[in-house]
Amino acid sequence: MNEQTEMEKCTVYKRRGDRCEIKCKLGLWSVDGPYGLALMNEANHYFQQYKADGEYDKLITPNV
């Protein structure tokens, strides 16, 4: 069984050819651009900021 990461639980990932879009499930942010490490790092940056603020607590730990 493949366990999702915290970021995967809180985002929607769409890839179209060499482009990728990563969106927050809560609608707080999104990134779009060429698929690659730079885009993933940008998405992770936003995810970590909102996670630190507690925005994702209910998505990561549903019983909170």
pLDDT tens figures, 16-49: 999 999 999 999 999 999 999 999 999 999 999 9
Which pLDDT score is estimated for 3?
Answer: 86
**pTM assigned to the model:** 0.87
Segments of 1-64 assigned E as strands: 11-16, 19-24, 30-34
> What's the CA dihedral at 7, 13, 15, 18 to 10 degrees?
-40
Is pLDDT at 53 greater than 90 in this prediction? yes
Distance CA 7, CA 23 (A): 10
SS3 47: helix
What are the sequence ranges of the domains in the chain? 6-58
